[in-house]
Amino acid sequence: MKSEFEFIETVRRRYNLSKIGDDCAVLPKDSKTDLVITADLLVEDVDFRLDWTTPEFLGHKALTVSLSDVAAMGAKPVWAMLSIGISVKIWKTDFIEKFYDGYMRLAKKFQVEIVGGDISKTSDKIVIDSIVAGETKKGKAVLRSGAKVGDLIFLTGELGGAAAGLRLLEKGERYKNSKYKNLLLRQLKPNPQTEIGQILGAKNLATSMIDLSDGLTADLNHICRESKIGAKLFSDKIPDQFDLENFQSVFNLSEMINFLLYSGEDFELLFTVNPKKKFQVENALKNHKFSLIGEVTANIEIIELIHKNRTEILQPKGFRHF
Amino acid sequence: MKSEFEFIETVRRRYNLSKIGDDCAVLPKDSKTDLVITADLLVEDVDFRLDWTTPEFLGHKALTVSLSDVAAMGAKPVWAMLSIGISVKIWKTDFIEKFYDGYMRLAKKFQVEIVGGDISKTSDKIVIDSIVAGETKKGKAVLRSGAKVGDLIFLTGELGGAAAGLRLLEKGERYKNSKYKNLLLRQLKPNPQTEIGQILGAKNLATSMIDLSDGLTADLNHICRESKIGAKLFSDKIPDQFDLENFQSVFNLSEMINFLLYSGEDFELLFTVNPKKKFQVENALKNHKFSLIGEVTANIEIIELIHKNRTEILQPKGFRHF
């Protein structure tokens, strides 16, 4: 069965759609500014479950997924639209007010203005389309296609928390009485790396960037394909959020590796940097958590993992709908 | 139960969202241009049924609903995004290719560039979010709020066809072998009034405008509320598409009146004009079908229908989800 990525690639070629293929489309705004824009669909029982989350968390997450795409372009988020379809049964509850509370609180934090959207009825499940637009200096949006051989690969924050949280939810853990609230929040109420994205964009520090929505190898592979490069990662440099030792009783080792390398929704930023700008990046991000995890190679679309002097080739598997 | 209109009004006030409340949001683009943007959600078994339509018709309609909103602002459509969620079962068919065919054919007609969107899985029903952006000269977007007492009320095309088509579909009529293809197409494959919208916008001819998505009285009422005016309509001037006499065997009189006054999805444009510009409008639209159907009054939010020297007050009922 074709994946959604293959289908999008087909459509992109068939209709010659040059704006498709990055975290956001880049559109000219005025002589000094470009507009970047993204849309993200969230579907009940595919992307979230009502018995696992709260309306406020869901509103927050709906905005985060799109803010994260805008951050990955090095852009400042400016305005948003929200389309939501819900059943009559849910409409009669306070779901929609609480959902907007969570959504609007995050919008306010980043001064994103809500300018429109749509509300519709569905026969059963909730569906949300989250649209966010941002701005960059003209021609300065950070694309997936700019990585060069020899560039350093950086990552913000820590990985695996969102997937670990999801696994706990699947096992029956619930937020209210959990001792793993930290991990559950990474899945239920993730935060976008809006500030870091803007810093890297404004200071022109990243040669390419992507947000981690599908998983480290899958998203790194998007950069490899668009930039026609390969990558080498150092396993001991990849920061995990769930602290391998403490979680050995909860997850087995293969689960934990899966969370780190192949699982999505951490919404951290993965970016490449010309080695000459290493110190500039370290200085610009000194108030943020980030790691140097690898480097760009000439082995097109090959991702190597260096683990205790052994090299393993990673398959770019990650989240896909189809 | 609150309607979606009441809820949107509450959100608009609570969060002070000044861009909400017209067919599109109006956003500054550059020193000479404004951007207008709209999002419209279409949900399977609420807004369409797969056994009534074809994937190509549905793709066409998904773009029409948003192009129509852009036309209602007097704007030229420029780019679009499409988010679509479908089940694995539908993904395995040729639905998505055919849907894009219908969508892209209409996009090409109006030179609208597809710049992004999202594809997601749903557990069952199809859901579509159609986003279109257009451009107007700075400050020249036609709003719902500009109608003045004494203005003339114009309407493009003919009304009632989409609702009559829907009623036929409900009665079991199907497109393939139908002798009412005309009416069914009005429901299944409606066309946006993109050219007329642009003419009225570019020549600054309309004081207010809206597209007929919810129904004549409901949409006219939106103009009345935003412009703080009332309206008087002349029943013999309202052009019906289904030719009352020919359809007496198919529909009863009350159904036909309902189609005309209270039913949506015709995607015609309703607009008000300063009487001094009447001849300019008639000249500018001489190659298009349009009618002068009434005038703006000072009776705030009262819609009168003049029918054979009798005056009836119309209730602004029309389509609502909740």
Residue of B87, B90, B96, B129 best to disrupt the A interface, most CBs of A under 10 A: B129
* Averaged pLDDT for residues A259-270: 94
* Averaged pLDDT for residues B144-170: 96
* Averaged pLDDT for residues B133-148: 97
> Residue B102 — very low, low, confident or very high, per pLDDT cuts 50/70/90?
very high
Strands B33-43 and B25-28: antiparallel
Strands A310-314 and A269-273: unpaired
Per-residue pLDDT for A54 more than 80?
yes
> Residue B244 — very low, low, confident or very high, per pLDDT cuts 50/70/90?
low
Angle between helices B55-71 and B194-202 (to 10 degrees): 10
> What's the angle, vertex CA A145, arms to CA A141 and CA A148, rounded to 5?
110
Strands B113-121 and B76-86: parallel
Q: Which of B24, B114, B124 sits opposite A124 (nearest CB)?
A: B124
The predicted pLDDT at position B245 comes to: 67
- Name the more confident of B277 and B17: B277
- Can you name the residues that pair with B117 across neighbouring β-strands? B82
Per-residue pLDDT for A200 more than 80?
yes
Per-residue pLDDT for A260 more than 70?
yes
Question: For residues A201 and A73, what is the distance between their CA atoms, to the nearest angstrom?
Answer: 7
> Residue A16 — very low, low, confident or very high, per pLDDT cuts 50/70/90?
confident
Give the closest residue to B160 by CA, choosing from B62, B257, B34.
B257
The DSSP string of B188-253 is HS----HHHHHHHHHTT--SEEEE-SS-HHHHHHHHHHHHT-EEEEEGGGS-BSS-TTTTTTTS-H
Partners of A125 on chain B (C-beta within 8 Å) are 122-125
The dihedral sign for the CA sequence B29, B190, B55, A119? positive
Helix (H) or strand (E) holding A95: helix A95-109
Partners of A131 on chain B (C-beta within 8 Å) are 39, 81, 131
Question: For residues A210 and B273, what is the distance between their CA atoms, to the nearest angstrom?
Answer: 50
Q: Which of A20, A91, A120 sits opposite B116 (nearest CB)?
A: A20
The predicted pLDDT at position B42 comes to: 97
What is the per-residue pLDDT across B70-99, written as a single tens digit (0 to 9) for each?
Answer: 999 999 999 999 999 999 999 999 999 999
Q: Which of B15, B121, B127 sits opposite A85 (nearest CB)?
A: B127
> What's the angle, vertex CA A53, arms to CA A49 and CA A59, rounded to 5?
100
HSE (side-chain half, CA atoms, 13 Å) at B45:
8
The predicted pLDDT at position B24 comes to: 96
Cβ distance B122 to A125 less than 8 Å, yes or no, reads yes
Question: For residues B211 and B216, what is the distance between their CA atoms, to the nearest angstrom?
Answer: 9
Cβ distance A41 to B321 less than 8 Å, yes or no, reads no
What is the per-residue pLDDT across B290-316, written as a single tens digit (0 to 9) for each?
Answer: 999 999 999 999 999 999 889 999 988
Question: For residues B191 and B214, what is the distance between their CA atoms, to the nearest angstrom?
Answer: 16
Partners of A83 on chain B (C-beta within 8 Å) are 39-41, 83, 129
- Can you name the residues that pair with A292 across neighbouring β-strands? A154
Chain A closest CA to B133's CA: distance in Å? Answer: 11
Q: 3-state DSSP: chain B helix, strand, coil percent, rounded to 5? A: 35, 25, 40
Question: For residues A31 and A138, what is the distance between their CA atoms, to the nearest angstrom?
Answer: 7
What is the per-residue pLDDT across B24-56, written as a single tens digit (0 to 9) for each?
Answer: 999 999 999 999 999 999 999 999 999 999 999
Mean pLDDT for chain A overall: 95
Cβ distance A127 to B41 less than 8 Å, yes or no, reads yes
Per-residue pLDDT for B242 more than 80?
no
Q: What is the ipTM of this complex?
A: 0.94
> Residue A280 — very low, low, confident or very high, per pLDDT cuts 50/70/90?
very high
* Averaged pLDDT for residues A45-74: 98
Residue pair B63/B106 in contact (Cβ under 8 Å)? The answer is yes
Number of residue pairs across A and B with CB atoms under 8 Å? 172
Count the neighbouring beta carbons within 10 Å of the beta carbon of residue B19.
17
What is the per-residue pLDDT across A91-128, written as a single tens digit (0 to 9) for each?
Answer: 999 999 999 999 999 999 999 999 999 999 999 999 99
Partners of A46 on chain B (C-beta within 8 Å) are 85, 120-123
Nearest CA in chain A to B39: A117
Nearest CA in chain B to A29: B29
Cβ distance A29 to B30 less than 8 Å, yes or no, reads yes
**Distance (Å) of CA B33 to CA A29, B28, B75, B76:** 10, 7, 10, 11
> Residue B123 — very low, low, confident or very high, per pLDDT cuts 50/70/90?
very high
**Token duo for residue B161:** 């066809």
- A164-173, A204-213, A243-252, B264-273: least confident range: A243-252
**Distance (Å) of CA B86 to CA A45, A83, B103, B128:** 13, 17, 16, 9
What is the per-residue pLDDT across A132-176, written as a single tens digit (0 to 9) for each?
Answer: 999 999 999 999 999 999 999 999 999 999 999 999 999 999 999
Partners of A321 on chain B (C-beta within 8 Å) are 119-121
The DSSP string of A178-208 is -S-HHHHHHHHS----HHHHHHHHHTT--SE
Helix (H) or strand (E) holding B186: helix B181-188
**Distance (Å) of CA A9 to CA A2, A22, A37, A78:** 11, 12, 19, 29
The predicted pLDDT at position A245 comes to: 67
Question: For residues A135 and A36, what is the distance between their CA atoms, to the nearest angstrom?
Answer: 6
Domains and CATH numbers, chain B: 4-137 (3.30.1330.10), 152-314 (3.90.650.10)
